[in-house]
Amino acid sequence: MSDYEYLIHTTDLCKSYGPHMALENLNLKVKKGATGLLGPNGAGKSTFLKTMLGLIQATSGEGQVLGHDIRTEGPAIRSRIGYMPEYDALNPEMEAIYQVKYSGELLGMNPTVAMSRAHEVLQYVGLGEQRYREIGGFSTGMKQATKLACSIIHDPELIIADEPSNGLDSVAREFMINTMQNMVNAGDRSVMMASHLMDDVERVCENMILLHKGKLAAQGKIADLKDIDREIEIHVWGNASKLEEKMLSIGMVVRREGRIMRILHESEDITTKILACAAEVGSQIRRMHEYEASLEDLFIVIMENLGYEIKTSEDLLRSPVHARQVDAPGHMGGGS
**DSSP code of residue 272:** H
**Range 152-171, binding Mg ion (CB under 5 A):** none
Distance CA 195, CA 160 (A): 11
Tell me: does residue 46 bind Mg ion (CB under 5 A): yes
Torsion 239-245-249-254 (CA) sign:
positive
43 binds ligand ATP (CB under 6 A): yes
The percent of the chain in helix, strand and coil, each rounded to the nearest 5, is 40, 25, 35
How many amino acids of this chain bind ligand ATP (CB under 6 A)? 12
Looking only at the bridges linking them, the beta strands covering 231-237 and 284-291 are antiparallel
Min CB(196)–Mg ion separation in Å: 9
Residue 17 phi, psi dihedral angles, 5° rounding: -105, 100
Residue 51 interacts with ligand ATP (CB under 6 A): yes or no: no
Q: Do the Cβ atoms of 243 and 286 come closer than 8 Å?
A: no
Cβ atoms 336, 330 nearer than 8 A: yes
Taking residues 18 to 37 in sequence order and writing x for each that binds ligand ATP by CB under 6 A, - otherwise, the string is --x-x---------------
Q: Which of 176, 142, 182 is nearest to 161 (CA)?
A: 176
Contact pick of 47, 64, 103, 165 for ligand ATP (by CB under 6 A):
47
Encoded one letter per residue, x for contact with Mg ion by CB under 5 A and - for no contact, window 76-95 reads ----------x---------
Task: Work out whether 46 is an interface residue with ligand ATP (CB under 6 A).
Answer: yes
For residue 166, state whether it binds ligand ATP (rule: CB under 6 A): no
41 binds, among ligand ATP, Mg ion, none (CB under 5 to 8 A by kind): ligand ATP
22 interacts with, out of Mg ion, ligand ATP, none, CB within 5 to 8 A per kind: ligand ATP
Interface residue with ligand ATP among 36, 39, 74, 82 (CB under 6 A) is 39
**In terms of CB distance, is 60 or 241 closer to ligand ATP?**
60
Which residues have C-beta within 8 Å of that of residue 116, sequence separation ≥ 6?
Answer: none
Closer to ligand ATP by Cβ: residue 15 or 68: 15
Closer residue to ligand ATP (CB): 18 or 335: 18
Three state DSSP letters for 85-146: CCCCCCCCCCEHHHHHHHHHHHCCCCHHHHHHHHHHHHHHCCCCCCCCCEHHHCCHHHHHHH
144 binds ligand ATP (CB under 6 A): no
78 binds, among ligand ATP, Mg ion, none (CB under 5 to 8 A by kind): none
Q: Which of 145, 158, 174 is nearest to 34 (CA)?
A: 158
Where on the chain is the footprint of Mg ion (CB under 5 A)?
Answer: 45-46, 86
* Footprint of ligand ATP (CB under 6 A): 17, 20, 22, 39, 41-47, 86
